Copies of this chain bind each other. A is one copy, B any other.
Amino acid sequence: MYCVILAGGSGTRFWPLSREEYPKQLLKIFGNQTLIQATLSRVSDLIPIDQVYIVTNPQQLEQIRFQMTNDTSKRLNYISEPERKNTAAAIALAAISLRRIDPEGVMIILSADHFIRDEKGFKQILQHAADAAQKGHLVTLGAIPNRPETAYGYIQAGELLPGSQGIRSVERFIEKPEKQVAEKYLLDKSTFWNTGIFIWKVSTILKEIERFMPELSEGLQQIEESFDTPSEQETLKRIYATLPAISIDYGVLEKSENLVVIPTDIGWEDVGSWNALDEVIPKDEEGNIVTGNVINVGSRNSTIYAKNRVVAVVGLDNVVVADTDDATLVCSKDHAQDVKKVVELLKLGEGDTHRVHKTVIRAWGSYTVLEEGPGYKIKKIMVHPGAKLSLQMHHKRSEHWVVVEGVATVTCGESVYTIQTNQSTFVPMGVKHRLENATDQPLRLVEVQSGSYLGEDDIVRFQDDYGRVSPE
């Protein structure tokens, strides 16, 4: 058995906590684990870690790696999509990767950002589903509804397969319904939430893709032929751009005669918007979910997410407030689906609050712009133990570095030297330089840039551990 975790979220629905380069799966929305960490934990005693494949994109890959333990990260398999397509292409890419290893293997497809309350029940149902998959079925899990949810798609089940212990044929897929319709489904006992959790053999899904999505299948073949050749990356990038961006449900499952559904009651939730937290997080006596530095005077039924900044809420009812270092959302719970419109509007503007947090994660660590003004920029920089930034040069700015924690190894022109906590150095304009943390402790420093132009793109890279070219 193999597990394929789809981890390519777009980061719009939990903005401002989520961002394009930091989507929901990377957040600790409940408990001590991020959603992707929890997803991995959930299957860890069912599937060896080196049989787990994470499908993601280059922007998110580094942060996912960072969230795994060293051992896990080394054994995990990563499949990097050159660009975000929908689930059909992502699953197909995973399937051709697995075909090389085990064409008759069973793949379990999970989203990195779902919630499942009953982990034991989940594992049992996956075992049951894998048995059905071995027989050549495309298996999907259907969650038994406990409320007339309008934010989920539904699957209408048909007859029980004889001797199958609860496995049913699939009549049809149903788009997100109106409230009244959802209330009907809640009662009829044969319509289930579409969980997007799929179980099938590699060979089965590839055959169905060949049948129902021939253009995807042809693209896959070209990509597969380039595997282990020098043109592998280039081919993947070129072909992937041409693949259809549709869901596996729409592209294959709705058309297949092979599909079955297993109804389950494992406390599955998609947690697709801020108000969906109400279903998965316990509330206080006034119906509030409160995190962080919050002062509440008489608010009810509200979700208040803060960190260090003070957030005071007075007399609110049915409102979500989510505060981050550079952006705050205040949203009526009845309009939580419209948060994505905020992100669309932000994309049209000049800022990048839709894309990254104030603290920007990089492979070597992170940086935070603390303040900008005419001719200067103040950054806090953190470099992971053993990591180094690229050997670089700026045409239009000089930089002061003051170490506040750890030891920095500095290359500046022809010199290489170390500076410690409470020491500083100066990198003149036009001089090749490099910042490195050669210790096993984090390095933190303040960078004060001065110059006529301070854009991130004034950078000439000469050597980089992360393969970046210049400008990034």
Q: Which residues of A contact B (CB under 8 A)?
A: 15-16, 295, 297-298, 309-317, 319, 321, 323, 326-332, 334-336, 338-339, 341-342, 345-346, 351, 353, 368, 370-371, 373-376, 378, 380, 398, 400, 402, 404-405, 421-422, 424, 426, 444, 446, 448, 450
Residue of B nearest to A351 (CB): B310
A41 to chain B, nearest CB (A): 31
Separation of A356 and B345 alpha carbons in the complex (Å): 33
Which chain B residues lie closer than 8 Å to A319 at the CB level?
Answer: 316, 319, 330
**What are 25 sample pairs from A and B whose C-beta atoms fall under 8 A apart?**
A295-B342, A295-B346, A297-B345, A298-B335, A309-B326, A309-B327, A311-B330, A312-B331, A312-B339, A312-B342, A312-B346, A313-B330, A314-B338, A315-B334, A316-B330, A319-B319, A319-B330, A321-B330, A368-B371, A375-B421, A378-B446, A398-B422, A400-B422, A424-B426, A446-B446
Query: In the complex the two chains form, is A346's CB within 8 Å of B310's CB?
Result: yes
Which chain B residues lie closer than 8 Å to A422 at the CB level?
Answer: 398, 400, 450
Query: In the complex the two chains form, is A330's CB within 8 Å of B332's CB?
Result: no
Which chain B residues lie closer than 8 Å to A328 at the CB level?
Answer: 309-312, 321, 323, 328
Separation of A312 and B345 alpha carbons in the complex (Å): 10
Separation of A389 and B353 alpha carbons in the complex (Å): 37
Query: In the complex the two chains form, is B405's CB within 8 Å of A297's CB?
Result: no
**A295 and B400 in contact, given A327-B310, A331-B315 (Cβ under 8 angstroms):** no
Separation of A283 and B367 alpha carbons in the complex (Å): 40
Separation of A48 and B376 alpha carbons in the complex (Å): 44
From A16, A313, A330, A421, name the one whose CB has the most chain B CB atoms within 10 angstroms.
A330
Separation of A365 and B232 alpha carbons in the complex (Å): 60
Separation of A260 and B38 alpha carbons in the complex (Å): 74
Which chain B residues lie closer than 8 Å to A336 at the CB level?
Answer: 314
Query: In the complex the two chains form, is A330's CB within 8 Å of B312's CB?
Result: yes
Looking at the complex, which one of B310, B341, B380, B448 makes contact with A16 (CB distance below 8 Å)?
B310
Residue of B nearest to A450 (CB): B422
Separation of A341 and B312 alpha carbons in the complex (Å): 10
Separation of A317 and B335 alpha carbons in the complex (Å): 12
Which chain B residues lie closer than 8 Å to A346 at the CB level?
Answer: 295, 310, 312
Query: In the complex the two chains form, is A312's CB within 8 Å of B329's CB?
Result: yes
Query: In the complex the two chains form, is A298's CB within 8 Å of B338's CB?
Result: yes
Query: In the complex the two chains form, is A405's CB within 8 Å of B374's CB?
Result: yes
Separation of A298 and B404 alpha carbons in the complex (Å): 45
**A331 and B310 in contact, given A398-B422, A402-B448, A421-B450 (Cβ under 8 angstroms):** no
A396 to chain B, nearest CB (A): 12
Which chain B residues lie closer than 8 Å to A327 at the CB level?
Answer: 309-312
**A373 and B405 in contact, given A312-B342, A319-B319, A342-B314 (Cβ under 8 angstroms):** yes
**A378 and B376 in contact, given A331-B314, A421-B450 (Cβ under 8 angstroms):** no
